[in-house]
Amino acid sequence: MKNNNKGFTLVELIAVMAIMVLLTGLVSLSVSAVNSATVKQSATSVDYLISMCRAGALGRSGDVHLTLSVDGNGNIVGEYFENGTLVSTDTFPGQSIIVSCTTTTRTYELSDESLTLSFDRSTGAQKSLSTEDEIYCTSINFLSARSYTIELFPLTGAHRLV
């Protein structure tokens, strides 16, 4: 008697589907880990730039400020100025990262407008973002698979990455 079955058994189909689900889960975990590392690296780098700007303001006379923005490719760009002269430009990967600034009055994304931070030379306190009102940046948020926040304390100029 000749058995001429040309199909798959239910057990074979379930085994193949289980293997596919397992491989999909592993790939998504590795992609998530890479995105988390990129977010943390970008947040750490921006935190360093803020420290550099504050130290520069305390140690030099004249205008020292930092401008943060997101370019057309989604990268985070930090420009450090001393006395109106661009001293350094740093670019960090941010294609899958949403970067936002929370001020004392509103929250906005850096892809829509830039953020300029400066500090007082005598006290190290953050200077107001507005010439008319006292508006300060209270946090910079990095959101992707994982989120990081740089908390800024305007009265002292201190900041920390959480």
One-letter identity of residue 119? F
- Quote the mean pLDDT of the chain: 88
Radius of gyration for the chain, computed over Cα atoms and rounded to the nearest angstrom: 24
* pLDDT tens for each residue of 117-132: 999 999 999 999 988 8
- Name the residue with higher pLDDT: 4 or 33: 4
pLDDT for the residue numbered 113: 92
Please compute the mean of the pLDDT values over residues 47-72 and round it to a whole number: 92
pLDDT at 34 over 60: no
Q: Which of 57, 41, 156, 160 is nearest to 95 (CA)?
A: 41
The structural domains of the chain, with segments of one domain joined by +, span 10-161
Share above pLDDT 90 across residues of the chain, in percent, rounded to a whole number? 59
In what helix (H) or strand (E) does residue 16 lie, and over which residues does it extend?
A: helix 10-59
